[in-house]
Amino acid sequence: MKEESDFGQIPSSVLNEDRSLTDRRVRRTKAAIHDAFRALVMEDRKRTIRVSDVIEKANVGRSTFYTHYSTIDDLHLDLLAGPFGLLARGTLGLASQRELTGILRHFWENRYRVRNSFVGPFGEKAQKLLASLLADHWGNAGFHSPIPLEVYVQQIAAAQLELIRQWMMGRVSGSPELITEALLAFVQPLRRETEIERGD
């Protein structure tokens, strides 16, 4: 396959190589931005992380940052998609208790730095993200109920994040293993009600 340019036809091998190089640059840039944000979260900071902090830490231009993210919250949510995806899969038995416990242990060990991810206006965005991930997984797993899927996933997302929030704030006691068991126990009746035994 060839494509036309001002210099005639371009072999597909050249086009694919160019695209591959572009993809690698994009991945490297996003990795630098992600690493910078994580590093800033782990610092003892007296103020909210700003875009200017991230681009300075990542050594990227402002326009480069905005090529990938519209706001600092978009970046934050992108990074939460990994652990939240694990929580969503865990509700269907697609993630092991060991994996879930590992995520919760990370949250606990860094609770003073990461709990802002679960409270206030951003906490509402985080809940919306988790509900969206749950909807994807439960929708693909044969969800069947007269009650809309949206109702179930909002209920699960709110319950899971509230338990994690209260736990990290010291209002609920328990080991990461115990909290994992509590999160999983909550969804078992809902899975039975919606005829979901296990996700695909």
pLDDT digits (tens, 9 = 90+) for 90-147: 999 999 999 999 999 999 999 988 888 998 999 999 999 999 999 999 999 888 888 8
pLDDT digits (tens, 9 = 90+) for 188-197: 888 888 877 5
Tell me what pLDDT residue 192 has. Answer: 85
What letter represents residue 86's amino acid?
A: L
The overall average pLDDT reported for the chain is 87
Distance, in Å, from the CA atom of 107 to the CA atom of 160, rounded to the nearest integer, reads: 13
Up-side HSE of residue 34: CA atoms within 13 Å toward CB? Answer: 12
Distances (CA, A) of 13 to 2, 3, 57, 167: 9, 11, 36, 54
Tell me what pLDDT residue 15 has. Answer: 40
Distances (CA, A) of 39 to 18, 31, 49, 59, 123: 32, 12, 11, 13, 21
Distance, in Å, from the CA atom of 162 to the CA atom of 118, rounded to the nearest integer, reads: 8
Strand partners, 10: 3
- Does the pLDDT value for residue 7 go beyond 50? no
Domain ranges of the chain: 2-68, 72-193
Distance, in Å, from the CA atom of 158 to the CA atom of 162, rounded to the nearest integer, reads: 6
Tell me what pLDDT residue 2 has. Answer: 45
Strand partners, 8: 5
Task: Give the mean pLDDT of 70-75.
Answer: 96
